[in-house]
Structure 1
Amino acid sequence: MTAIYIIRHCAARGQEPDAELTEHGKKQAVELAGFLADANINRIVSSPYARAVQSTEPLAEALGIEIETDEHLKERVLSSSDLPDWLEQLKSTFDDHDLALEGGESSQQALDRISQVVDELKNSGCQTAAIVTHGNIMALLLSRYIEGFGFKGWRSLSNPDVFLLNEGPREPECKRLWNKATR
């Protein structure tokens, strides 16, 4: 059995790869470390984007483990073009997983990419891991385990957010642990 904490990064200053956490996001990262301190995490794999790495630095420090970065966890590029109706376009890619906008990645391509990380962790013998990623690609991964998650689920995500995926011999179980209403 492998337990994987799927984490969305804390509040950030922007969407660029080098966008750092806000002051509020830094406080959230410390809160996140406290929340996960007793989870027996022995591996942290993060998107290489600054906001994702910074979101788990306090946890990694508390646990005495290094953060591994993996390009498979970076945010999905919806399109290389400026899309005034980007929200509608994004919804259409959740409805049609094979739809790839100009210069972008289809939902299926992004799902295949992030699923490689989950599969690698499962096959590595790691018992408890955390992956740190971004909302869009996280929602695609969650839709693999939570029926109907999709676009509506993406809209419900918070910064940060935490889900626990238990992969074992039976059907995988995935549930939300982070309750933004109480934080």
Structure 2
Amino acid sequence: MNALQWLTLVRHGESTGNLAYLAVQGTDAEETGIVERDADIPLTETGREQAAALGRWLAGLPADERPTRVVSSPYTRAVDTARIALAQAPYDVEIRVDERLRDREMGMMEGLTWVGIQRRHPEEAARMTRLGKFYYRPPGGESWADLALRLRSLYRDLEQEAAGERVLVTTHDAIVVTTRYLVEGLSEREVMEIEKTPIANCAVTRWRRGEGRLQAVSYNDCTHLAGAGVGTA
């Protein structure tokens, strides 16, 4: 049976949540100020422009690299990124939504900054430090290891359902990083080192089938955005 030929992951475009996080960085704020539930956070106008630039890049791909299947996180910012991008492309691909591509769930920590976690839940801050980021699971939330578990299920299904295809995924930064962990067989130390460098909004990460496995082509690539004059912060 054929396996996936291309796997392309894209982080969603800039969202209002991204701007809220930036606004409180380096301050004494305990909360991010985000009012929507995570699933409903929308794109900003810049995010929509980034998604359109992504679409123009997709339209310019060689025929044998163009996605034959598109799968998105169910969250608004990811689905809208896919919709806006595909509106720029000269081919018709249906967007499928899969809840396994949703962002990492933070449970009781949702909406809190690191300052807020330390002040309101000092015992959890200490537990996180002791266990390490990869295995720490906030109450009601997920660890990075939990993300790996649900993504193993997703990619196993895609290998069967989309054999021989070129798959485009619109999702979140934690999902992109965890996918590298799975596809490239990384260690806990390696993936947590990679995670220290933020993935830009609408950045592209790609793998191509070669020598019997998916091989890395690009990671956190924003060249398609720079060429369009769209910011990547």
Give the TM-score category using the shorter length: 0.7 to 0.9
SS in 1 for 2:148: helix
Corresponding residue for residue 108 of structure 1:
145
Percent of aligned pairs with the same amino acid: 23
Q: Structure 1 residues 152, 40: CA separation in 2 closer, same or farther (over 3 Å shift)? A: closer
8 Å CA contact 1:42–1:129 kept in 2: the answer is yes
Match 2:56 to one of 22, 34, 53: 34
Alignment deviations for residues 36-62 of structure 1 (CA, whole Å, 9 cap, x no partner):
222321110000111001111133333
8 Å CA contact 1:32–1:59 kept in 2: the answer is yes
SS in 2 for 1:173: strand
Corresponding residue for residue 121 of structure 2:
none
Mapped to 1, the partners of 2:211 and 2:66 lie a distance apart of 21
Partner AA of 1:23 in structure 2: E
Mapped to 2, the partners of 1:178 and 1:141 lie a distance apart of 13
Corresponding residue for residue 58 of structure 1:
84
Corresponding residue for residue 17 of structure 2:
14
Partner AA of 1:122 in structure 2: E
TM-score, scaled to structure 2: 0.67
Structure 2 spans left out of the alignment, 5+ residues: 19-37, 119-124, 227-233
Alignment deviations for residues 16-53 of structure 1 (CA, whole Å, 9 cap, x no partner):
21111111111111110111222321110000111001
8 Å CA contact 2:72–2:97 kept in 1: the answer is yes
Using the TM superposition, give the Cα deviation of residue 67 of structure 1 relative to its aligned residue in structure 2, in angstroms.
0.7
Computing the radius of gyration over CA atoms, which structure comes out larger, 1 or 2? 2
Q: Structure 1 residues 72, 30: CA separation in 2 closer, same or farther (over 3 Å shift)? A: same
TM-score, scaled to structure 1: 0.83
Mapped to 2, the partners of 1:127 and 1:135 lie a distance apart of 23
8 Å CA contact 1:48–1:71 kept in 2: the answer is yes
Using the TM superposition, give the Cα deviation of residue 139 of structure 1 relative to its aligned residue in structure 2, in angstroms.
1.3
Mapped to 2, the partners of 1:133 and 1:31 lie a distance apart of 17
Mapped to 1, the partners of 2:198 and 2:107 lie a distance apart of 22
Using the TM superposition, give the Cα deviation of residue 71 of structure 1 relative to its aligned residue in structure 2, in angstroms.
0.3
Mapped to 2, the partners of 1:59 and 1:170 lie a distance apart of 30
SS in 1 for 2:201: coil
Q: Structure 1 residues 154, 166: CA separation in 2 closer, same or farther (over 3 Å shift)? A: farther
SS in 2 for 1:14: helix
Q: Structure 1 residues 92, 121: CA separation in 2 closer, same or farther (over 3 Å shift)? A: farther
Q: Structure 1 residues 33, 94: CA separation in 2 closer, same or farther (over 3 Å shift)? A: farther
Mapped to 1, the partners of 2:164 and 2:221 lie a distance apart of 26
Q: State the Cα RMSD in Å.
A: 2.9
SS in 2 for 1:156: coil
SS in 2 for 1:129: strand
